[in-house]
Structure 1
Amino acid sequence: MLQPLLQIRQTAALIGMDADSGNLSITQPKAEVNITTTSGELAVQSFRPEFTIDQSRAWAAFTGGSMSDMNKRIYSGIQQLYLQGIARKVEQGNQMAQFFKPGNTIAEVYGTDTEPNSFPETRGPASYDNVDIHFETRDPRIEFRPATVSIQVETHRPEIEYTRGKLNIYMQQYASIQFIPPKVNVQL
C-alpha cells in the first residue's frame, strides 16, 4: 500500500536591485606661466690711441734747446775744459821739470801752446735718433651684464566632482512555503 505523501513547495526569495553607476569628473585648469626677461647689456668703451712726438733733443742739437738745458751743457762743458786745462798745465810743468832734455825748453813747451781755449758746446749732440716717437694704445673697456630670465608658475589643483549613482534594492519575490496535503480517499 502506498503511503500518502505531503508535498512541500518552497519558493525562494528574490531580491531585485536597480543600480546606476556614479559619475566621476576630474578637470584641472591649465597652469599660469609668467616669464619675465631682462635683456643683456654690452657696453664697450674704446679709447683713442695716444701719439706723442718728443723733438726736444733735435731742437737741442739744432738751436741749443731751452735756456736751462743750454746752461747745464755750458756748466758741465766748462768743468770738463777746466779739468783738461789743469791736465795740460801739469803735463807742461812735467816737461819743464825736465828742462835738461832736448826739446823741453820754455819756448818749445809754451810756444806750441797757441791754440785758444774753446767754449763748451751749447748745442746737444746731433744724431739721426733725436726724435722720439711714442704710440700708445689702450685696451677697450668691456662691461657685460648677462640677460636674466624669471619664470613663475602658478598651478591649480584639480577639480573633482563625483555624482553618486542610484541603488534601489527591493523584494522582487518573497519567500514562501506551501504545504500540499495528500488526497486521502477514505471510504467507510
Structure 2
Amino acid sequence: MRVPQLRMEATYARLAISTTPARLDITQPPAELTIAQPPAEMNIASVPARLTIDQSRAWAAMNNKHVFEFIRDGAEDGRQAVLNYIARTASQGDELMRIENGGNPIVDQAVVNSEDPPLEFNIAFVPPPFSVKIGYEPGRLDIDWHIQPPRIDVKRHEPIIHYQRGAVRIDLAQHPSLRIDVVI
C-alpha cells in the first residue's frame, strides 16, 4: 500500500530595499579680517654735546694777540709803570726829606736811577704747558615711545549648511507562498 506523501514547496518572501543617501553640504565663507597697525609715535629730544677749546693763552704766549688785547696789555703795562714810578719817587722823596739822618741818599738814588733792571734770561716752552683749556659738556638724548596697539576687526560668517534627507524604501519583491501537494 502506498502511503500518501505530502509535498510542500515554499517560496520565501523577498524584500526589495532601495535607498537614497542623505546629502550634507557645508560651506564656510571665510571671515573678513581687517588689521590696522597705527604707527608708533616717537619723540626725540636731544641736547648736543658741547666742546669748548680756549687757546687764547697759548696765542698770547706766542705774541699773536688780537689788537684789543695788545691795547689792553699796553695800557695795563703803562698804568703799572706809572704806579711804580710814583712809588719810587715817593720813596726817594722820603729819603731826601730825611737827609739829616745821615747816609748819602743823592748818590744812592743816582745809582739806582741810572741803571736798568737786569735782563731776565730763561728757557720757556712756547706755548706754555696747559695753556690750552678744554671744556666738555656731554650731550643728552631722550627718546620717548608711544606704542599703539593693533586694531583687529573680525567679521565672521556662519557656515552654510544644506541637508537633504535620505530615504529608505522597502518593497515586497516576492510574496511568500506555500504549496502543498498530496502525492499518492
TM-score calculated relative to the size of structure 1: 0.50
8 Å CA contact 2:46, 2:140 repeated in 1 = yes
CA distance in 1 between counterparts of 2:82 and 2:148 reads: 77
1:63 partner letter: N
Which secondary structure does the structure 2 equivalent of 1:148 belong to? Answer: coil
8 Å CA contact 2:48, 2:140 repeated in 1 = no
> Aligned pair in 2 of structure 1 residues 105, 46: CA closer, same or farther (>3 Å)?
closer
CA distance in 2 between counterparts of 1:89 and 1:140 reads: 65
CA distance in 1 between counterparts of 2:47 and 2:105 reads: 75
Counterpart position of 1:144? 145
> Aligned pair in 2 of structure 1 residues 105, 30: CA closer, same or farther (>3 Å)?
closer
Counterparts of 1:65-104 in structure 2, within 5 Å, are 65-104=65-104
Counterpart position of 2:107? 107
Structure 1: gaps spanning 5 or more residues: 1-28, 119-125, 158-188
1:133 partner letter: I
Q: Which of structures 1 and 2 has the larger relative contact order (alpha carbons within 8 angstroms, sep 6+)?
A: 2
CA drift of 1:89 comes to: 0.4
Counterpart position of 1:129? 130
Which secondary structure does the structure 1 equivalent of 2:81 belong to? Answer: helix
RMSD: 4.4
TM-score calculated relative to the size of structure 2: 0.51
Counterparts of 1:1-188 in structure 2, within 5 Å, are 34-42=34-42, 49-116=49-116, 127-152=128-153
Instruction: Provide the identity percentage.
Output: 28
Q: Which has the larger radius of gyration?
A: 1
The number of residues matched between the two structures is 129
> Aligned pair in 2 of structure 1 residues 58, 129: CA closer, same or farther (>3 Å)?
same
CA drift of 1:52 comes to: 3.9
8 Å CA contact 2:49, 2:140 repeated in 1 = no
Q: Which has the larger share of strand? A: 2
2:135 partner letter: H
